[in-house]
Chain A
Amino acid sequence: MKQDSKKRARSFVSNQTVAILSILIFLIAVGASAFRRDAPAKEIKISAIARDSVASVKAFETVYKVLMSPRCMNCHPAGDVPLQGDDSHLHAMGPKRGLDGKGVYAMKCSNCHQETNTPGLHTPPGNPDWHLPPAAMKMVFQGKSAHELARQLVDKKQNGDKDMQKLIEHADDGLVLAGWNPGEGRTLPPVTHAEFKKAWITWIKNGAYAPKKTSN
C-alpha cells in the first residue's frame, strides 16, 4: 500500500504536463460534473468562486503533495492503525482507531500524545486534539490517487460534512497546523503552511476540480 501510494504520487508528478494539456478537455467535462454531483452548488457559500479548472488542478498538485506527505498521511491511513515516521511504517505498537478516532482501551492517542511535542528524537508528537479520523468517516489519504483524493475531499459524506467554507477554514485547523510542527527529527511537509493554505484555497476557490484519473 505504501509502495503504491508513492508510485502514484510520482507518476502524477511526472505526467503533469500531459495531464495539464488534457485537463482542459477532460476535467471541464468529467471532473466538474463529478464535483457538482458531490457538492451541490447551493451549499457553496463562497462568493469568490471562479471556475478555473486549470488553476484549480494546478493548485491541487501542491495540496496533494502535502496531504500525501508523512505529516498528513500518517494519520489518514488506509487501515485502522496510524502510520509513523518519514517512511510511513505502521505505528509500532499498533494503536487502533476506535470509533471516535481517539484510540481504544489503554491505547488512546492522548495517553502518549500530549498537548505539545515531547522533546527528543522518536518521542510522541503532541497536539491537544491528537486523533485519527473517526471510524464512520475515515478520510483515508494513504493509497489515494490525486483524482480520488480531490473527489473525496469535497464529498461531504467523506469529509466530515464540510462545505467549501468549512474546508477553507480547515486549513487552519490545529491538527493540520501540527503537520508543520512535527517534533524533532521529522521532516516538514514539502511546502510551508502558508504555501499550502494558498494552494488549498486556490484549489477550492477555483472550483475544487479533481485532477485527471491516472492510469494506475
Chain B
Amino acid sequence: MAKITLSINKKEFPMEADPQMPLLWAIRDLTGLKGTKYGCGVAQCGACVVHLDGEAVRSCVTKVSRAVGKQVVTIEGLSQANDHPVQRAWQEIDVPQCGYCHSGQIMSAAVLLRENPNPTDQDIDYGMAGNICRCGTYLRIRKAIHAAADMQKKTATKG
C-alpha cells in the first residue's frame, strides 16, 4: 500500500492504494466515482475508458501508479453540464439502451472527435472498434458521432 494522489476531473484525491491496483478500481471504489464501468478487466470491451492526459486509456489494465502526476478525466468530468458535443449527440439520437458501455463509448468518441473533427464512417470504425456494446447500439453510435462532429463545428464557428 502506498499513499498516492490522483487528479481526477480537476480534483485531487489523496488515497492509500496498492500501486498495482488498476486505475478502474481506484476510481470506482476509492473515490466513489462510479460512472467508469467494469466490463471485462482485460482491455477487451472499453467500458472502463477514461482520459489519461487526454488519451483514452483502459483503466482496467492501467495501474493506478501510471496515473500519478497525470490528469484523469472520467465520464463525470467530460463536461460540467452533460453537454459535451458527444453527450449532446448521444442524447439527441438516443444512443444508449442499457447504457452500461456508454461511459466508455463516449470517452472514446471524445478522443476521436478531438483528433479528427470530421470523421468518415471508416474513421469512426478505426476509433470505436475497441468498444463493445452488447445491446447493439453501433449504428446509432456512428450516427451520433457524425452529429457530434456537426455540433462541434457549429460551436467552433460561433466561438
User: Assuming the A-B contacts A105-B126, A108-B55, A114-B61, are A124 and B43 also in contact, with contact meaning beta carbons closer than 8 angstroms in the complex?
Assistant: yes
Partner-A contacts on B (CB < 8 A): 42-44, 46, 49, 55-58, 61-63, 66, 107-109, 111-112, 115-116, 123, 125-131
Cβ contact of B112, chosen from A105, A115, A123, A124, cutoff 8 A:
A105
Give the A-B contact count at a CB cut-off of 8 A. Answer: 70
Looking at the assembled complex, report how far the CB atom of A127 sits from the nearest CB atom of chain B, in whole angstroms: 14
Secondary structure of the B contact surface, majority rule: mixed
Report the bound CA distance from A123 to B63 in whole Å: 14
Q: Which residues of B contact A94 (CB under 8 A)?
A: 125-126, 129
Q: Which of A92, A96, A115 has the most CB of B within 10 A?
A: A96
Q: Once the chains bind, are B61 and A106 in contact (CB under 8 Å)? A: no
Residues 110 to 166 of chain A near chain B (Cβ within 8 Å):
110-112, 114-115, 118, 120, 122-124
* Pairwise interchain contact A104-B126, C-beta atoms closer than 8 A: yes
By a CB distance below 8 angstroms, the chain B residues around A92 are: 44
Contact of B129 among A107, A108, A123 (CB under 8 A): A107
- A residues whose Cβ falls under 8 Å from a Cβ of B: 92-96, 104-108, 110-112, 114-115, 118, 120, 122-124
Tell me the bound Cα distance from A106 to B112 in angstroms: 6
By secondary structure, the A interface counts as: loop
Q: Which residues of B contact A120 (CB under 8 A)?
A: 42
Given the known interface contacts A112-B58, A114-B66, the answer about A105 and B127 at a Cβ–Cβ threshold of 8 Å is yes
- Residue from A111, A115, A120, A124 with most neighbouring chain B CB atoms (10 Å): A111
CB-CB < 8 A to A108: which residues of B?
55-56
